[in-house]
Amino acid sequence: AQSVSQHNHHVILSEAASLELGCNYSYGGTVNLFWYVQYPGQHLQLLLKYFSGDPLVKGIKGFEAEFIKSKFSFNLRKPSVQWSDTAEYFCAVNLNTGNQFYFGTGTSLTVIP
Amino acid sequence: DGGITQSPKYLFRKEGQNVTLSCEQNLNHDAMYWYRQDPGQGLRLIYYSQIVNDFQKGDIAEGYSVSREKKESFPLTVTSAQKNPTAFYLCASTPDRPSSYNEQFFGPGTRLTVL
């Protein structure tokens, strides 16, 4: 079965610490990759996406992610987190020839001021 | 402003009753989706629809039904056959067939509690 794995379920960091959230997927074909964020009480919104080209993609609010095809990974990074980054983060995969999006179980990030 | 509307935000129902959750979009998007979000389980696909009058089951369709009579509307009915209906339900849409490099746009969600 297709799957998306986020191994960090809960992450707690102090402000200014660096962040890396892992995402691995199990599909062998061409994929489109996404990171979504859900701030408390708000809609899910797109942080960044990868379709093709430069495997290092930059998103909103200083986030970036790197697609490593050989590792089936799309890890999310931010050099210095802020209290306002406290949220739940979801990795998602869409097969280039498919109609479904597959989501990971999410990572809850708490940033302590 | 364009967007996806889900109503109501909170919904309470007695066990054994069917309930319909509303999802409306004015983005002129073709594809629409329903997800269920449970703590620690991420988003799981219930149903999706690529065009009007067409829809497909997702991973957890049992106990749910949908219709797509209009492009802008994709209501979800949670039937009494759904064994554990209490959850947060999210509606989403994409502008075209998902393989055309499109992201999903999400509504604010409906929290359903079955008493």
**Best residue in B102, B104, B105 for a mutation probing chain A (most A CBs within 10 Å):** B104
Chain A CB contacts of B44 below 8 Å:
103
Residue B2, pLDDT above cutoff 80: no
| pLDDT bucket at A14, cuts 50 / 70 / 90 | very high
Short-list B46, B47, B78, B44, CA closest to B63: B78
For the residues of B31-54, what is the DSSP string, one character each? EEEEEEEETTTEEEEEEEESSTT-
Whole-angstrom CA distances from B108 to B18, B64, B99 are: 22, 20, 24
Taking CB atoms and an 8 Å limit, are B99 and A45 in contact across chains? no
Q: Which of residues 76-105 of B touch A (CB under 8 A)?
A: 90, 92, 97-99, 101, 103-104
- How far apart are alpha carbons A61 and A112 in whole angstroms? 18
Q: What pLDDT sits at residue B60? A: 94
| pLDDT bucket at A1, cuts 50 / 70 / 90 | low
| pLDDT bucket at A2, cuts 50 / 70 / 90 | low
Residue B93, pLDDT above cutoff 80: yes
Q: What pLDDT sits at residue A76? A: 98
- Of B50, B99, B104, Cβ closest to residue A97: B99
- For chains A and B, CB pairs below 8 A equal 56
Nearest residue in A to B39, CA atom: A105
Which whole number is the average pLDDT over B18-46?
Answer: 93
How many percent of chain A have pLDDT more than 70? 96
Q: What pLDDT sits at residue A104? A: 94
At a CB cut-off of 8 Å and minimum separation 6, what does B100 contact? none
- How many CB atoms within 10 Å of residue A59? 18
Judged by a CB distance cut-off of 8 A, whether residue B58 touches chain A is yes
Chain B CB contacts of A95 below 8 Å:
99
Nearest residue in B to A40, CA atom: B108
Short-list A44, A24, A37, A100, CA closest to B33: A100
Q: Which of residues 41-100 of A touch B (CB under 8 A)?
A: 42-46, 49, 51, 90, 92, 94-100
| pLDDT bucket at A98, cuts 50 / 70 / 90 | low
Taking CB atoms and an 8 Å limit, are B98 and A98 in contact across chains? yes
Judged by a CB distance cut-off of 8 A, whether residue B32 touches chain A is no
Q: What is the pLDDT of residues A70-87, one digit of tens each?
A: 999 999 999 999 999 999
- How far apart are alpha carbons B46 and A91 in whole angstroms? 18
